[in-house]
């Protein structure tokens, strides 16, 4: 056997190698049968051990695995397998990651916390750098971690290097050793004998488990210790297939992007010298890939330095792409491009009909018994809710220099979008704590960022102390771009010596939730709902409680918020699509595809019904998922949502692109992952309580209807709050039209309802009593657990704290919205520049209440 692991044992050369050759066995010559034989569980060290399993009724036990390593790949494989297939074993597995590498560990959500990393690396430095005796350092490990791990973990895990588990033996806890490198890797020579004895004990112990990630490593362990350990090949579990080598005269020696290493040089020289009898040749992975996919990037005239830079970039892309990495992406790209070239219609043969759902507008809208019942049911579910903000965009297109979530929602209080969203989550959390009696309850938030926004988002959150949230409940999910493609054969585009990349779409949120293990983790924590919302709509949370209630009542796996849609309006329509075989799914159809689809129906197109609206409600991409089933669907697809490609053809034959294209995905296409028994629904709500946004800069907003810019978004926010107060019986004057920088909107009373005041219409109505009259020039800010029992307002009032304000009469100069002179606009803040106006606070009455809110 040719042994290249020169760290732990000698390289076989000379007479030793001749003996191996004379025995008639050389690697690769036995073909697939060898792999099948040595991949069997039967006859291994673990096969001989007893399995203890005690289940009470249908309980699913939880298994907490604490791991630490110096390279995450092996632990990441183990985590992926155990968390993905744990449900099949009826075990909920949770990993407590303590991996040191800063980049790879994030892919698997196994990074050590800074304080833990400092502790562990400090202990290891004492062993490797300070040369302290093993027993001394092992005792320090036990003192630092013993009590904590006995409370927090069920199993301890080591992978790379395996020898680190020796420091944990004295803790007397079950250990999982997942071997991908030699047993003696990174073990000082003086301690190898001791580790060999300890490892032999671990191999035969009933308490511990040792598994190899390849047949090669398993054979190596057997050669050294005389024990055959089982091999668990992660690729086989992901693909439900087993690797069967077809190039039995070849040995793969390098992973992608690592050419030029010492081992490759040694092997090539060995093979060249012994070609007369040695039957194998060594192949590097890039040579296999380039032949089919990437050869055009590495032509002979490309400088070596550029080739290395391309390799490094491709390696990073390969590691970030779900669904088979770079090769999977290119394979899907070729398939989709062939369909696009052939003019395949993705909706061919599907018959649209009105989707199942709940209408919460008109007679069943806010203020109605139906809406109230949905909210009350939903409020009982808040304690089981998780949140996700899709926030990958910069504000440059809007004329705003920062990230979009840093734009101010309204100029009265200067609250930014991200601050508003965090405040809503905290308000829901406060209600849920009271409702459940759990004072430590945290409702988690995931924020999907992009390469452009990630660092800015993290900085903004930390600089503002997470806006009242705690760091551990916020998770940042960075979305990476995907390679651009230049032709129907899915060749990758390169410009100026770099791979050209483009955004993949907000459907990446599903892949990131799967890759990071958040979906599975939150299910393990008993969470039930996953609310996904976008970055510049301040109204999302006004309908959250009702949405939760509808989903809980109807058992929806996915529930889309929709608005009554005007026929022909440029937003997607949600349809129930039935195939000729009778299977159906509820799915968003983009507006440019909807009209052709509906023309094939008896209605002959997108025709209004008796309400004056289209029967097919308009999608606004506010989504609620039933988290346990959501997680299962992602496990089944590997996090991949079906993609599409929309190339711009340069010729009638569709052989050339006008410009490079790429695969895209949309988060609302999740129903394509659902099974026939999964219910997908739609909740229709009024536009005024659910949809507005900052989508356009001033130049574009002037041309659009609605303008959907900073001014109209702020006006919609005030209008929504006015209508909510009117539902509670308030008398508020009608607004006037205003105009700034060519944009027109209606602004009257400027009502700001902080999330801490009310998270639902039902809650709000209970806090407003007596006669409430507000003039159109007034400003009212309500914050905290306050009750207003009678109010006449003609000016500006800010109520905060806890208590009841009775019979208030306030008249003062108030707050005016005034235009910013052109000469001052350049010096104004960015949020004011994209508006052209500011709040002129002339006089405001502020009262902080202390007492009983009842």
Lowest-confidence region among 24-38, 226-240, 471-485: 24-38
Tokens of 566: 């005007």
Cα-to-chain-centroid distance, residue 45: 39
Domains of the chain, residue spans = 31-239, 302-379+480-691, 383-479, 710-850
Residue with tokens 């209508």: 723
Q: What is the pLDDT of residue 94?
A: 87
CA 157, CA 77: separation in Å to the nearest integer? 13
Q: What is the 3-state secondary structure (H, E, C) of 330-347?
A: HHHHHHHHHHHHCCCCCC
DSSP 44: S
Query: pLDDT tens, 818-845?
Result: 999 999 999 999 999 999 999 999 999 9
Task: Write out the H or E segment, with its range, that includes residue 763.
Answer: helix 761-766
Q: What is the pLDDT of residue 251?
A: 65
Q: What is the pLDDT of residue 347?
A: 86
Mean pLDDT score, 593-615: 83
Residue with tokens 């094939």: 600
**Strands 584-589, 573-578: parallel, antiparallel or unpaired by DSSP?**
antiparallel
Q: What is the pLDDT of residue 202?
A: 94
DSSP 731: E
CA 648, CA 729: separation in Å to the nearest integer? 55
CA 304, CA 413: separation in Å to the nearest integer? 57
Residue 85: pLDDT band with limits 50, 70, 90: low
CA 277, CA 266: separation in Å to the nearest integer? 17
Mean pLDDT score, 566-591: 89
Q: What is the pLDDT of residue 602?
A: 76
Q: What angle do CA 139, 142, 146 make, to 5 degrees?
A: 165
Task: With H, G, I as helix, E, B as strand and everything else as coil, classify residue 92.
Answer: strand
Pick 457 or 263 by higher pLDDT.
Answer: 457
CA 161, CA 33: separation in Å to the nearest integer? 30
What CATH number labels 31-239?
3.40.50
Q: What is the pLDDT of residue 265?
A: 62
Which residues is 177 bridged to in the sheet?
158, 210
710-850 is classed CATH 2.160.10.30? yes
Backbone angles phi, psi at 290, to 5 degrees: -65, -35
Q: What is the pLDDT of residue 39?
A: 65
Q: What is the pLDDT of residue 2?
A: 28
Query: Residues 727, 372: contact at Cβ < 8 Å?
Result: no
Highest mean pLDDT pick, 53-62, 285-294, 685-694 = 685-694
Query: pLDDT tens, 606-629?
Result: 888 888 888 899 999 999 999 999
Q: Which CATH number fits domain 302-379+480-691: 3.30.420.480, 3.40.640.10, 3.90.550.10, 3.40.50.300?
A: 3.90.550.10
Query: Residues 232, 211: contact at Cβ < 8 Å?
Result: yes
Residue 18: pLDDT band with limits 50, 70, 90: low
The pTM for the full model equals 0.73
> What mean pLDDT value characterizes the chain?
86
CA 454, CA 766: separation in Å to the nearest integer? 41
Q: What is the pLDDT of residue 31?
A: 46
Mean pLDDT score, 71-76: 85
Mean pLDDT score, 195-206: 93
CA 767, CA 572: separation in Å to the nearest integer? 37
Residue 371: pLDDT band with limits 50, 70, 90: very high
Tokens of 150: 């006995």
Q: CB-hemisphere CA count at 13 Å for 719?
A: 20
**Length of the chain measured in residues:** 854
Using CA atoms, how far residue 841 sits from 412, 664, 713, 779, 838, in Å, is 8, 47, 21, 10, 9
Query: Residues 701, 743: contact at Cβ < 8 Å?
Result: yes
CA 82, CA 72: separation in Å to the nearest integer? 15
Residue 27 has pLDDT above 50, yes or no: no
């Amino acid at each position: 056997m040719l042994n290249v692991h020169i760290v732990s044992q000698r390289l076989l050369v000379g007479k030793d190698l001749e003996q191996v050759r004379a025995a008639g066995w050389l690697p690769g010559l036995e073909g697939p049968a060898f792999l099948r034989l040595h991949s069997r569980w039967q006859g291994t060290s673990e096969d001989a051990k007893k399995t203890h399993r005690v289940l009470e009724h249908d309980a699913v036990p939880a298994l907490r695995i604490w791991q630490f390593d110096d390279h995450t790949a092996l632990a990441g494989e183990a985590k992926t397998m155990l968390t993905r297939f744990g449900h099949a074993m009826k075990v909920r597995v949770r990993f407590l990651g303590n991996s040191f590498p800063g980049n790879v560990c994030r892919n698997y959500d196994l990074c050590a916390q800074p304080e833990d990393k400092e502790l562990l690396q400090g202990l290891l430095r004492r062993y490797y750098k300070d040369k302290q005796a093993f027993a001394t350092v092992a005792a320090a490990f036990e003192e630092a971690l013993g009590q904590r791990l006995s409370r927090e973990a069920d199993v301890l895990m080591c992978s790379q290097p395996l020898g680190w588990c020796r420091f944990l033996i004295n803790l007397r806890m079950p250990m999982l050793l997942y071997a991908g490198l030699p047993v003696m890797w990174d073990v000082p020579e003086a301690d190898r004998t001791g580790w060999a004895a300890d490892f032999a004990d671990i191999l035969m112990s009933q308490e511990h488990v040792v598994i190899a990630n390849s047949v090669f490593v398993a054979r190596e362990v057997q050669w050294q210790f005389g024990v055959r350990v089982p091999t668990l090949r992660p690729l086989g579990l992901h693909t439900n297939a087993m690797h069967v080598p077809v190039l039995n005269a070849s040995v793969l020696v390098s992973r992608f992007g690592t050419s030029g290493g010492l081992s490759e040089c040694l092997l090539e020289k060995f093979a060249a010298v012994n070609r007369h009898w040695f039957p194998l040749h060594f192949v590097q992975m890039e040579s296999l890939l380039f032949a089919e996919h990437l050869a055009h990037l590495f032509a002979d005239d490309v400088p070596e330095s550029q080739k290395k830079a391309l390799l490094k970039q491709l390696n990073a892309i390969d590691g970030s792409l779900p669904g088979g990495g770079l090769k999977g992406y290119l394979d899907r790209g070729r398939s989709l491009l062939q369909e696009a070239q052939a003019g395949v219609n993705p909706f061919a043969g599907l018959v649209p009909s009105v989707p199942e759902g709940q209408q919460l507008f008109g007679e069943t809208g806010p203020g109605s018994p139906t809406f109230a019942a949905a909210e009350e049911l939903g409020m009982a579910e808040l304690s089981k809710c998780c949140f996700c903000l899709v926030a990958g965009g910069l504000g440059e297109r809007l004329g705003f220099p920062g990230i979009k979530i840093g734009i101010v929602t309204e100029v009265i209080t200067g609250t930014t979008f991200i601050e508003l969203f965090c405040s809503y989550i905290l308000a829901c959390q406060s209600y849920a704590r009271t409702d459940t009696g759990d004072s430590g309850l945290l409702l988690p938030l995931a924020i999907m960022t992009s390469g452009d926004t990630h660092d800015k988002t993290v900085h903004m959150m930390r600089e503002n102390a997470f806006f009242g949230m705690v760091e551990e409940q916020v998770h940042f999910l960075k979305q990476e771009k995907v390679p651009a493609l230049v032709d129907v054969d899915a060749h990758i585009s390169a410009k100026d010596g770099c791979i050209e990349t483009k955004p993949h779409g907000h459907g990446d949120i599903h892949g990131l939730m799967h890759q990071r293990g958040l979906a599975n983790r939150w299910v393990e924590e008993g969470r039930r709902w996953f609310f996904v919302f976008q970055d510049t709509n301040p109204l999302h949370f006004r309908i959250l409680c009702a949405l939760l209630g509808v989903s809980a009542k109807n058992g929806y796996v996915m529930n889309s918020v929709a608005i009554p849609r005007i026929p022909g309006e440029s937003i997607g329509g949600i349809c129930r699509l039935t195939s000729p075989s009778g299977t159906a799914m509820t799915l968003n159809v983009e507006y440019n595809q909807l009209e052709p689809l509906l023309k094939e129906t008896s209605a002959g197109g997108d025709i209004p019904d008796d309400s004056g609206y289209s029967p097919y409600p308009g999608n606004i991409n506010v989504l609620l998922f039933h988290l346990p089933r959501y997680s299962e669907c992602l496990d089944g697809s590997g996090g991949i949502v079906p993609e599409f490609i929309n190339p711009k053809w340069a010729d009638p034959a569709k052989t050339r692109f006008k410009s490079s294209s790429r695969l895209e995905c949309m988060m609302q296409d999740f129903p394509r992952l659902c099974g026939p028994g999964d219910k997908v629904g739609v909740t229709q709500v009024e536009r005024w309580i659910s949809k507005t946004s900052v989508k356009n800069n001033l130049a574009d907003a002037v041309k659009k209807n609605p303008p959907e810019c900073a001014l109209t978004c702020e006006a919609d926010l005030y209008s929504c709050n006015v209508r909510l107060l009117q539902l509670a019986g308030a008398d508020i004057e009608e607004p006037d039209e205003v105009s700034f920088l060519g944009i027109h909107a209606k602004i009257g009373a400027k009502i700001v309802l902080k999330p801490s005041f009310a998270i639902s219409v039902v809650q709000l109505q209970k806090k407003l009593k007596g006669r409430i009259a507000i003039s159109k020039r007034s400003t009212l800010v309500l914050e905290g657990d306050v009750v207003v029992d009678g109010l006449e307002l003609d000016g500006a009032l800010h109520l905060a704290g806890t208590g009841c304000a009775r019979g208030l009469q306030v008249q003062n100069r108030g707050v005016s919205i005034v235009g910013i002179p052109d000469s001052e606009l350049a010096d104004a803040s960015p949020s004011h520049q994209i508006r052209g106006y500011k709040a002129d606070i002339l006089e405001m009455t502020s009262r902080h209440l202390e007492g009983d809110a009842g």
